[in-house]
Structure 1
Protein backbone atom coordinates (compact mmCIF):
# COMPACT_ATOMS: atom_id res chain seq x y z
CA UNK A 1 0.00 0.00 0.00
CA UNK A 2 1.35 3.40 -0.89
CA UNK A 3 2.01 5.76 2.03
CA UNK A 4 -0.68 8.33 2.62
CA UNK A 5 0.84 11.57 1.47
CA UNK A 6 -2.42 13.44 1.26
CA UNK A 7 -2.78 14.73 4.79
CA UNK A 8 -6.33 16.02 4.58
CA UNK A 9 -7.73 12.54 4.06
CA UNK A 10 -5.94 11.05 7.01
CA UNK A 11 -8.21 10.04 9.86
CA UNK A 12 -7.16 12.73 12.31
CA UNK A 13 -7.46 10.71 15.52
CA UNK A 14 -5.39 7.77 14.28
CA UNK A 15 -2.21 9.20 15.70
CA UNK A 16 -3.48 9.05 19.27
CA UNK A 17 -3.75 5.29 18.87
CA UNK A 18 -1.05 4.45 16.36
CA UNK A 19 0.37 1.50 18.26
CA UNK A 20 -3.06 0.10 19.13
CA UNK A 21 -4.28 0.39 15.54
CA UNK A 22 -1.19 -1.42 14.31
CA UNK A 23 -1.86 -4.15 16.87
CA UNK A 24 -5.43 -4.55 15.56
CA UNK A 25 -4.04 -4.72 12.03
CA UNK A 26 -1.73 -7.62 12.97
CA UNK A 27 -4.77 -9.52 14.28
CA UNK A 28 -6.90 -8.78 11.21
CA UNK A 29 -4.02 -9.80 8.95
CA UNK A 30 -4.55 -13.38 10.21
CA UNK A 31 -7.93 -13.47 8.46
CA UNK A 32 -8.82 -13.60 4.77
CA UNK A 33 -9.93 -9.97 4.70
CA UNK A 34 -8.24 -7.52 2.36
CA UNK A 35 -7.25 -4.09 3.61
CA UNK A 36 -8.39 -1.03 1.69
CA UNK A 37 -8.74 2.59 2.72
CA UNK A 38 -12.14 4.22 2.56
CA UNK A 39 -13.18 7.51 4.08
CA UNK A 40 -9.60 7.89 5.33
CA UNK A 41 -9.70 4.79 7.52
CA UNK A 42 -8.64 1.17 7.05
CA UNK A 43 -11.61 -0.87 5.86
CA UNK A 44 -11.33 -4.62 5.40
CA UNK A 45 -13.28 -6.25 2.64
CA UNK A 46 -14.30 -9.73 1.57
CA UNK A 47 -15.42 -10.10 -2.06
CA UNK A 48 -15.37 -6.29 -2.31
CA UNK A 49 -17.92 -6.03 0.51
CA UNK A 50 -17.04 -4.00 3.62
CA UNK A 51 -16.80 -6.33 6.59
CA UNK A 52 -14.96 -4.32 9.24
CA UNK A 53 -13.24 -0.99 9.69
CA UNK A 54 -10.88 0.26 12.38
CA UNK A 55 -10.12 3.70 13.63
CA UNK A 56 -9.17 5.89 16.55
CA UNK A 57 -11.47 8.39 18.17
CA UNK A 58 -10.87 10.90 20.92
CA UNK A 59 -11.44 8.59 23.90
CA UNK A 60 -11.19 5.14 22.36
CA UNK A 61 -10.21 3.15 19.31
CA UNK A 62 -12.60 0.71 17.72
CA UNK A 63 -13.38 -2.02 15.27
CA UNK A 64 -16.71 -1.58 13.55
CA UNK A 65 -18.56 -4.42 11.93
CA UNK A 66 -20.56 -3.22 8.96
CA UNK A 67 -23.15 -5.96 9.43
CA UNK A 68 -22.58 -6.29 13.16
CA UNK A 69 -26.30 -6.62 13.78
CA UNK A 70 -25.98 -10.28 12.72
CA UNK A 71 -23.18 -11.14 15.14
CA UNK A 72 -24.20 -13.30 18.11
CA UNK A 73 -22.18 -11.05 20.44
CA UNK A 74 -22.14 -13.61 23.25
CA UNK A 75 -19.45 -11.62 25.05
CA UNK A 76 -21.63 -8.46 24.94
CA UNK A 77 -18.88 -6.34 23.38
CA UNK A 78 -20.74 -4.54 20.63
CA UNK A 79 -22.52 -1.23 20.82
CA UNK A 80 -24.73 0.67 18.44
CA UNK A 81 -23.32 4.19 18.29
CA UNK A 82 -26.62 5.78 17.26
CA UNK A 83 -29.60 3.79 18.49
CA UNK A 84 -32.27 5.10 16.14
CA UNK A 85 -30.15 5.82 13.10
CA UNK A 86 -27.72 2.94 12.81
CA UNK A 87 -29.37 -0.23 11.62
CA UNK A 88 -26.62 -2.76 11.02
CA UNK A 89 -23.29 -1.24 12.05
CA UNK A 90 -21.90 -2.22 15.46
CA UNK A 91 -18.73 -1.01 17.22
CA UNK A 92 -16.39 -2.72 19.62
CA UNK A 93 -14.53 -0.03 21.54
CA UNK A 94 -11.23 -0.29 23.36
CA UNK A 95 -9.42 2.19 25.57
CA UNK A 96 -6.09 0.37 25.77
CA UNK A 97 -4.11 -2.31 24.02
CA UNK A 98 -4.70 -4.55 27.04
CA UNK A 99 -8.44 -4.41 26.29
CA UNK A 100 -7.87 -6.26 23.05
CA UNK A 101 -8.25 -10.00 23.47
CA UNK A 102 -6.89 -11.37 20.22
CA UNK A 103 -8.75 -14.69 20.43
CA UNK A 104 -12.13 -12.98 21.02
CA UNK A 105 -11.53 -10.36 18.33
CA UNK A 106 -10.67 -13.10 15.82
CA UNK A 107 -13.82 -15.06 16.73
CA UNK A 108 -15.97 -12.02 16.01
CA UNK A 109 -14.17 -11.26 12.74
CA UNK A 110 -14.41 -14.87 11.54
CA UNK A 111 -18.14 -14.84 12.34
CA UNK A 112 -18.51 -11.55 10.42
CA UNK A 113 -16.75 -13.08 7.39
CA UNK A 114 -18.98 -16.14 7.63
CA UNK A 115 -22.09 -13.92 7.68
CA UNK A 116 -20.76 -12.10 4.63
CA UNK A 117 -20.29 -15.42 2.82
CA UNK A 118 -23.89 -16.31 3.63
CA UNK A 119 -24.97 -12.93 2.27
CA UNK A 120 -26.57 -11.72 5.47
CA UNK A 121 -27.47 -8.10 4.84
CA UNK A 122 -30.10 -5.90 6.36
CA UNK A 123 -32.71 -5.09 3.75
CA UNK A 124 -33.78 -1.45 3.95
CA UNK A 125 -37.14 -1.23 5.65
CA UNK A 126 -40.12 -0.22 3.60
CA UNK A 127 -40.89 3.40 4.23
CA UNK A 128 -43.91 3.93 6.41
CA UNK A 129 -46.62 6.00 4.78
CA UNK A 130 -46.77 9.46 6.29
CA UNK A 131 -50.01 11.34 6.74
CA UNK A 132 -49.94 15.06 7.30
CA UNK A 133 -53.24 16.27 8.67
CA UNK A 134 -52.07 19.86 8.20
CA UNK A 135 -51.38 19.41 4.51
CA UNK A 136 -54.58 17.41 4.03
CA UNK A 137 -56.58 20.21 5.63
CA UNK A 138 -54.94 22.75 3.28
CA UNK A 139 -55.63 20.57 0.24
CA UNK A 140 -59.28 20.12 1.22
CA UNK A 141 -59.64 23.89 1.20
CA UNK A 142 -57.55 24.50 -1.88
CA UNK A 143 -58.34 22.45 -4.98
CA UNK A 144 -55.36 23.81 -6.95
CA UNK A 145 -53.00 22.72 -4.21
CA UNK A 146 -54.48 19.23 -4.12
CA UNK A 147 -54.20 18.88 -7.90
CA UNK A 148 -50.64 20.21 -7.94
CA UNK A 149 -49.65 17.78 -5.17
CA UNK A 150 -51.06 14.82 -7.09
CA UNK A 151 -48.79 15.64 -10.05
CA UNK A 152 -45.67 14.82 -8.01
CA UNK A 153 -44.20 11.33 -7.99
CA UNK A 154 -44.95 9.31 -4.83
CA UNK A 155 -41.32 9.80 -3.80
CA UNK A 156 -41.55 13.59 -4.03
CA UNK A 157 -44.90 13.58 -2.24
CA UNK A 158 -43.25 11.55 0.51
CA UNK A 159 -40.46 14.13 0.82
CA UNK A 160 -42.97 16.92 1.38
CA UNK A 161 -44.91 14.91 3.95
CA UNK A 162 -41.75 13.85 5.75
CA UNK A 163 -40.51 17.46 5.79
CA UNK A 164 -43.66 18.65 7.56
CA UNK A 165 -44.11 15.72 9.89
CA UNK A 166 -40.51 15.40 11.13
CA UNK A 167 -40.85 18.80 12.80
CA UNK A 168 -41.28 18.32 16.55
CA UNK A 169 -43.43 21.36 17.22
CA UNK A 170 -46.72 22.34 15.68
CA UNK A 171 -45.38 25.85 15.11
CA UNK A 172 -42.49 24.48 13.03
CA UNK A 173 -44.86 22.23 11.08
CA UNK A 174 -46.93 25.28 10.15
CA UNK A 175 -43.85 27.26 9.11
CA UNK A 176 -42.71 24.38 6.93
CA UNK A 177 -46.18 24.02 5.45
CA UNK A 178 -46.22 27.71 4.52
CA UNK A 179 -42.84 27.32 2.90
CA UNK A 180 -43.82 24.38 0.71
CA UNK A 181 -47.29 25.47 -0.45
CA UNK A 182 -45.87 27.87 -3.09
CA UNK A 183 -43.39 25.17 -4.17
CA UNK A 184 -46.16 22.63 -4.63
CA UNK A 185 -48.26 25.10 -6.61
CA UNK A 186 -45.30 25.81 -8.87
CA UNK A 187 -44.52 22.13 -9.30
CA UNK A 188 -41.12 22.41 -7.60
CA UNK A 189 -40.06 19.36 -5.62
CA UNK A 190 -38.69 19.88 -2.13
CA UNK A 191 -35.15 18.87 -3.06
CA UNK A 192 -35.19 19.71 -6.77
CA UNK A 193 -32.52 22.35 -6.40
CA UNK A 194 -30.10 19.74 -5.01
CA UNK A 195 -30.79 17.15 -7.69
Structure 2
Protein backbone atom coordinates (compact mmCIF):
# COMPACT_ATOMS: atom_id res chain seq x y z
CA UNK A 1 0.00 0.00 0.00
CA UNK A 2 1.31 3.49 -0.83
CA UNK A 3 2.13 5.92 1.96
CA UNK A 4 -0.25 8.86 1.61
CA UNK A 5 0.42 12.33 2.96
CA UNK A 6 -2.61 13.62 4.90
CA UNK A 7 -1.84 17.13 3.70
CA UNK A 8 -2.59 15.99 0.17
CA UNK A 9 -5.83 14.41 1.36
CA UNK A 10 -6.76 17.81 2.81
CA UNK A 11 -5.71 19.61 -0.38
CA UNK A 12 -7.93 17.38 -2.50
CA UNK A 13 -10.88 17.74 -0.12
CA UNK A 14 -10.51 21.51 -0.26
CA UNK A 15 -10.27 21.65 -4.06
CA UNK A 16 -13.26 22.59 -6.26
CA UNK A 17 -15.68 19.70 -6.74
CA UNK A 18 -14.80 19.18 -10.44
CA UNK A 19 -11.09 18.93 -9.55
CA UNK A 20 -11.30 16.26 -6.85
CA UNK A 21 -11.70 13.20 -9.14
CA UNK A 22 -8.93 14.56 -11.40
CA UNK A 23 -6.50 14.95 -8.50
CA UNK A 24 -7.37 11.50 -7.12
CA UNK A 25 -6.91 9.97 -10.58
CA UNK A 26 -3.47 11.54 -11.07
CA UNK A 27 -2.39 10.49 -7.59
CA UNK A 28 -3.50 6.90 -8.20
CA UNK A 29 -1.72 6.72 -11.56
CA UNK A 30 1.52 8.05 -10.07
CA UNK A 31 1.50 5.42 -7.32
CA UNK A 32 0.57 2.65 -9.77
CA UNK A 33 3.34 3.54 -12.22
CA UNK A 34 6.00 4.30 -9.63
CA UNK A 35 5.28 2.60 -6.27
CA UNK A 36 8.47 4.05 -4.73
CA UNK A 37 7.23 7.66 -4.86
CA UNK A 38 6.89 9.69 -1.69
CA UNK A 39 4.23 12.34 -1.29
CA UNK A 40 4.90 15.84 -0.02
CA UNK A 41 3.74 19.45 -0.27
CA UNK A 42 5.93 22.04 -1.99
CA UNK A 43 4.92 25.63 -2.73
CA UNK A 44 1.56 24.75 -1.11
CA UNK A 45 0.82 22.16 -3.82
CA UNK A 46 0.99 18.33 -3.90
CA UNK A 47 4.19 16.83 -5.27
CA UNK A 48 5.51 13.32 -5.69
CA UNK A 49 9.19 12.64 -5.02
CA UNK A 50 11.36 9.90 -6.46
CA UNK A 51 14.95 9.35 -5.42
CA UNK A 52 14.83 12.57 -3.43
CA UNK A 53 13.83 14.63 -6.48
CA UNK A 54 10.53 15.96 -7.77
CA UNK A 55 8.87 13.52 -10.14
CA UNK A 56 5.59 15.30 -10.75
CA UNK A 57 3.12 17.70 -9.19
CA UNK A 58 -0.51 18.72 -9.44
CA UNK A 59 -2.52 21.87 -8.80
CA UNK A 60 -6.19 22.78 -8.66
CA UNK A 61 -7.49 26.16 -9.80
CA UNK A 62 -10.98 27.64 -10.03
CA UNK A 63 -11.83 26.16 -13.43
CA UNK A 64 -9.04 23.75 -14.29
CA UNK A 65 -6.23 21.59 -12.94
CA UNK A 66 -2.57 21.60 -13.86
CA UNK A 67 -0.41 18.48 -13.99
CA UNK A 68 3.23 18.35 -14.90
CA UNK A 69 6.64 16.77 -14.59
CA UNK A 70 9.76 18.39 -13.22
CA UNK A 71 11.64 17.12 -16.27
CA UNK A 72 9.89 18.28 -19.44
CA UNK A 73 11.42 15.42 -21.39
CA UNK A 74 8.99 13.03 -19.66
CA UNK A 75 6.18 14.21 -21.91
CA UNK A 76 5.77 15.51 -25.44
CA UNK A 77 4.01 18.80 -24.82
CA UNK A 78 2.72 19.01 -28.41
CA UNK A 79 0.93 22.35 -27.93
CA UNK A 80 -1.08 21.07 -24.98
CA UNK A 81 0.15 23.63 -22.51
CA UNK A 82 -2.01 26.63 -23.47
CA UNK A 83 -0.26 28.84 -20.93
CA UNK A 84 -1.28 26.58 -18.07
CA UNK A 85 0.91 25.33 -15.24
CA UNK A 86 2.36 21.91 -16.09
CA UNK A 87 2.82 20.36 -19.51
CA UNK A 88 -0.68 18.96 -20.07
CA UNK A 89 -2.59 22.20 -20.50
CA UNK A 90 -5.81 23.18 -18.76
CA UNK A 91 -7.40 19.98 -17.53
CA UNK A 92 -11.05 20.22 -16.47
CA UNK A 93 -12.26 16.67 -17.15
CA UNK A 94 -10.69 13.21 -17.28
CA UNK A 95 -11.06 13.32 -21.07
CA UNK A 96 -8.48 16.12 -21.14
CA UNK A 97 -5.82 13.76 -19.79
CA UNK A 98 -3.95 11.10 -21.77
CA UNK A 99 -5.35 7.62 -21.28
CA UNK A 100 -4.15 5.42 -18.42
CA UNK A 101 -1.52 3.61 -20.47
CA UNK A 102 -0.03 6.85 -21.81
CA UNK A 103 -0.02 8.41 -18.36
CA UNK A 104 1.86 5.52 -16.83
CA UNK A 105 4.40 5.58 -19.65
CA UNK A 106 5.01 9.28 -18.94
CA UNK A 107 5.38 8.69 -15.21
CA UNK A 108 7.79 5.81 -15.71
CA UNK A 109 9.75 7.90 -18.19
CA UNK A 110 10.00 10.70 -15.65
CA UNK A 111 11.32 8.25 -13.03
CA UNK A 112 13.88 6.89 -15.51
CA UNK A 113 15.11 10.42 -16.23
CA UNK A 114 15.65 11.04 -12.52
CA UNK A 115 17.45 7.72 -12.12
CA UNK A 116 19.72 8.57 -15.06
CA UNK A 117 20.64 11.94 -13.60
CA UNK A 118 19.24 13.86 -16.58
CA UNK A 119 18.60 17.56 -15.93
CA UNK A 120 15.46 19.28 -17.21
CA UNK A 121 16.27 21.30 -20.36
CA UNK A 122 15.22 24.54 -18.67
CA UNK A 123 17.70 23.97 -15.83
CA UNK A 124 20.51 23.18 -18.23
CA UNK A 125 19.65 26.35 -20.13
CA UNK A 126 19.69 28.41 -16.93
CA UNK A 127 23.14 27.09 -16.12
CA UNK A 128 24.38 27.98 -19.60
CA UNK A 129 22.76 31.42 -19.77
CA UNK A 130 23.47 33.51 -16.69
CA UNK A 131 21.48 36.71 -16.83
CA UNK A 132 23.26 39.93 -15.95
CA UNK A 133 22.27 41.76 -12.74
CA UNK A 134 18.93 43.57 -13.16
CA UNK A 135 18.68 47.31 -13.79
CA UNK A 136 17.28 48.82 -10.60
CA UNK A 137 14.41 51.28 -11.22
CA UNK A 138 14.96 54.74 -9.75
CA UNK A 139 12.15 54.53 -7.19
CA UNK A 140 13.45 51.24 -5.78
CA UNK A 141 17.01 52.58 -5.76
CA UNK A 142 15.84 55.66 -3.81
CA UNK A 143 13.85 53.56 -1.33
CA UNK A 144 16.84 51.29 -0.71
CA UNK A 145 19.15 54.29 -0.30
CA UNK A 146 16.82 55.58 2.42
CA UNK A 147 16.90 52.27 4.28
CA UNK A 148 20.44 51.13 5.07
CA UNK A 149 19.41 47.68 6.32
CA UNK A 150 17.35 46.94 3.21
CA UNK A 151 20.11 48.24 0.92
CA UNK A 152 22.72 46.04 2.54
CA UNK A 153 20.53 42.92 2.28
CA UNK A 154 19.53 43.68 -1.31
CA UNK A 155 23.14 44.16 -2.39
CA UNK A 156 23.92 40.76 -0.87
CA UNK A 157 21.16 39.01 -2.81
CA UNK A 158 22.16 37.02 -5.91
CA UNK A 159 21.04 38.62 -9.22
CA UNK A 160 18.06 36.28 -9.51
CA UNK A 161 16.67 37.32 -6.12
CA UNK A 162 17.17 41.00 -6.97
CA UNK A 163 15.45 40.48 -10.32
CA UNK A 164 12.37 38.95 -8.65
CA UNK A 165 11.79 42.15 -6.69
CA UNK A 166 12.56 44.42 -9.65
CA UNK A 167 10.14 42.57 -11.94
CA UNK A 168 7.42 42.50 -9.27
CA UNK A 169 7.62 46.27 -8.92
CA UNK A 170 7.87 47.23 -12.59
CA UNK A 171 5.06 44.86 -13.59
CA UNK A 172 2.54 46.78 -11.47
CA UNK A 173 -0.07 48.25 -13.80
CA UNK A 174 -1.21 51.09 -11.51
CA UNK A 175 0.95 53.67 -9.76
CA UNK A 176 -0.75 52.97 -6.42
CA UNK A 177 -0.04 49.24 -6.82
CA UNK A 178 3.58 49.98 -7.64
CA UNK A 179 3.94 52.18 -4.56
CA UNK A 180 2.35 49.53 -2.35
CA UNK A 181 4.70 46.87 -3.73
CA UNK A 182 7.67 49.17 -3.27
CA UNK A 183 6.88 49.71 0.41
CA UNK A 184 6.27 45.99 0.94
CA UNK A 185 9.48 45.08 -0.91
CA UNK A 186 11.67 47.32 1.24
CA UNK A 187 10.06 45.95 4.40
CA UNK A 188 10.67 42.33 3.37
CA UNK A 189 14.18 43.02 2.12
CA UNK A 190 15.12 44.71 5.40
CA UNK A 191 13.98 41.51 7.15
CA UNK A 192 16.25 39.45 4.86
CA UNK A 193 13.35 37.97 2.92
CA UNK A 194 13.34 37.14 -0.77
CA UNK A 195 10.34 37.98 -2.93
CA UNK A 196 8.81 34.48 -2.64
CA UNK A 197 9.87 33.82 0.95
CA UNK A 198 6.39 32.54 1.85
CA UNK A 199 6.85 29.49 -0.37
CA UNK A 200 10.50 28.66 0.31
CA UNK A 201 9.79 26.36 3.24
CA UNK A 202 6.54 24.83 2.01
Distance 1:26 1:7, change over 3 A: closer
Pairwise mapping of residues 1-195 of structure 1 onto structure 2 (< 5 A)? 9-11=10-12, 12-13=14-15, 15-39=17-41, 42-67=46-71, 69-71=72-74, 73=76, 75-81=78-84, 89-92=86-89, 93-97=91-95, 99-117=97-115, 118-121=117-120, 122-123=122-123, 124=126, 126-132=130-136, 134=138, 152=152, 154-155=155-156, 158=162, 162=166, 191-193=189-191, 195=193
Bigger Rg, structure 1 or 2 = 1
TM-score by length of 2: 0.54
Higher helix share: 2
The answer to whether the 8 Å contact 1:36/1:45 transfers is yes
The answer to whether the 8 Å contact 2:8/2:46 transfers is no
Distance 1:19 1:170 in 2: 42
Q: CA shift at 1:5, angstroms? A: 6.8
Q: CA shift at 1:50, angstroms? A: 1.4
Higher RCO structure (Cα 8 Å, ≥6 apart): 2
Q: What's the Cα RMSD here?
A: 5.1
TM-score by length of 1: 0.55
Distance 1:32 1:170, change over 3 A: closer
Distance 1:7 1:70 in 2: 26
* 1:11-68 alpha-carbon deviations (Å, 9 max, x no partner): 311654444444334432332254444337653221021111235444334422223x
